[in-house]
Amino acid sequence: MSYIGESFLRLLGKEPARPTKEDIRPEAQEIHFYKKANKVITREHILKLHEVPQKKTWRNRRWLTLLAINLLFVVSYHLDIQLLEGALTASRFMGFHMADLNSSLQVMLAFKEVLINLVIGTSTVLVMWLLLGGRTFCSWVCPYHLLAEWAEKLHLKLVEKKIIKGRTFHRGTRTVLYVVFALLAFVTGYTVFETISPTGILSRALIYGPGVALVWVGLLLLFEIFVSRRAWCRYVCPIGITYGIVGLVSPLRVEYNVVNCAHEGDCRKACLVPHVLDMTIKGRARDVNVPVGADCTRCGICVDLCPTDSLKFVYKWPGK
């Protein structure tokens, strides 16, 4: 199956399958065989790699970008400079209309008509995230992503100390809920998802002031700390699917190179969507260079973590 087809199915919840010998290109097979026959990767080798200082380059860039974008909304509103007006769901930047793709879909389903301003704003955003990688929105712009990232650290500490046991759910739940939210908008004429979306709630709270809806965001974070790691982003939020579909044909993505990889698994442990890094498991890479799927948020955590630089950002169209 093609990269786009396989990536789309994984985005919807399909679990990665172990590739057969026929699926793996001869060049990759040769590398897999060499590593296995010569025992290139040993326990001592992995321990030595763990001594390599962990980089935080992409994390720092991402946090600064996310904070800067959201603060720009705040500053523009309170100083009335009309540079970036509105909120993340719908805004205007220096006169250019911008509308969140998922929010626009919800509104048009609810009103059962195509609104010209939404079409203009959606087109602008579509082109931007097509070039920047689809789910890049989730990790580089969404304010809830940052809070959930900090909550995740607490969750992992509690799991490590065996105070709680982390729970997981089927990833296909997000696809089912995507359809449910779309049907609710169409049937009720009300954008139900926008009412409970922590992305919109936090964006509006930052700009216009806190409201009672922040209680819901707090409950979500508590659930993620004590029950299930990153539950909202992994199993509920339809925004991830919407931007993931855009990311299917995006030229910006993370690419994996199998040659020097030690397969120690640190990248998968840290990843919000570890199924996209299935190719880093020993013997799973189908080619020497393998693009990471569209469900990847391009957060750069795996790139920072990898001690052998086997994961890196690339900019090239799928199939190139």
Is 107 part of any domain? yes
Beta carbons of 310 and 257 less than 8 angstroms apart: yes
Is 320 part of any domain? no
Is 118 part of any domain? yes
Average pLDDT over residues 36-51: 74
Domain count, the chain: 2
Is 279 part of any domain? yes
Over residues 117-171, the pLDDT tens digits come to: 788 889 988 998 999 988 999 999 999 999 999 999 999 999 999 999 999 999 9
**Whether residue 171 sits in one domain with residue 285:** no
Q: Which of 76-80, 147-151, 153-157, 251-255 has the lowest mean pLDDT?
A: 76-80
Structure confidence at residue 211 (pLDDT): 92
Last residue of a domain, one of 225, 245, 265: 245
Percent of the chain residues topping a pLDDT of 70: 98
**Whether residue 232 sits in one domain with residue 94:** yes
Is 210 part of any domain? yes
**Whether residue 215 sits in one domain with residue 182:** yes
**Whether residue 307 sits in one domain with residue 213:** no
**Whether residue 52 sits in one domain with residue 63:** no
Structure confidence at residue 320 (pLDDT): 63
**Whether residue 63 sits in one domain with residue 204:** yes
Beta carbons of 286 and 317 less than 8 angstroms apart: no
Over residues 222-242, the pLDDT tens digits come to: 999 999 999 999 999 999 999
What's the pTM value of the predicted model, to 2 decimals? 0.91
Q: Determine the structural domain holding residue 66 and report its residue range.
A: 58-245
- As a whole number of angstroms, the distance between CA 52 and CA 301 comes to 15
**Whether residue 223 sits in one domain with residue 272:** no
Last residue of a domain, one of 245, 279, 305: 245
Over residues 190-224, the pLDDT tens digits come to: 999 999 999 999 999 999 999 999 999 999 999 99
